[in-house]
Amino acid sequence: RVGGVVVEGTVARPGEGLTVEFDLTDNASVVKVKYTGILPDLFREGQGIIANGRLNTSGEFVASEVLAKHDENYMPPEVMDAMKKSGQKMPSLNKGI
């Protein structure tokens, strides 16, 4: 699993299929991601995403799933489940409401 922000100007669709390639950064490093499938509606350059998949031998992350982060408070379900099981306090995701 990798997460970060889609780097502006890197989204490319080679050919006419559903394959898309883009760079993803966490502001410390950059990884090239390749995904074949339908992207979430919220997928955009400059937007935070999480991708599940595997790193191939050439250092490219081949994603099997791409999830768009709704905002900076997004937390993957398995992280929330682990926090609940360990008894940790859940962060407030509705600040200011």
Structure tokens at 11: 């989204």
What is d(CA 68, CA 59) in angstroms, rounded to the nearest whole number? Answer: 22
pTM: 0.71
What is d(CA 70, CA 68) in angstroms, rounded to the nearest whole number? Answer: 6
**Closest by CA position to 48, among listed 92, 7, 91, 14:** 7
pLDDT band with cut points at 50, 70 and 90 for residue 61: very high
Q: How many domains does the chain have?
A: 1
pLDDT band with cut points at 50, 70 and 90 for residue 69: confident
Domain of residue 80 covers 2-86
pLDDT of residue 26: 87
Q: Give the 3-state secondary structure of 43-63.
A: CCCCCEEEEEEEECCCCCEEE
Supply the CATH number for residue 45's domain. 2.40.50.140
Question: 96 in a domain, yes or no?
Answer: no
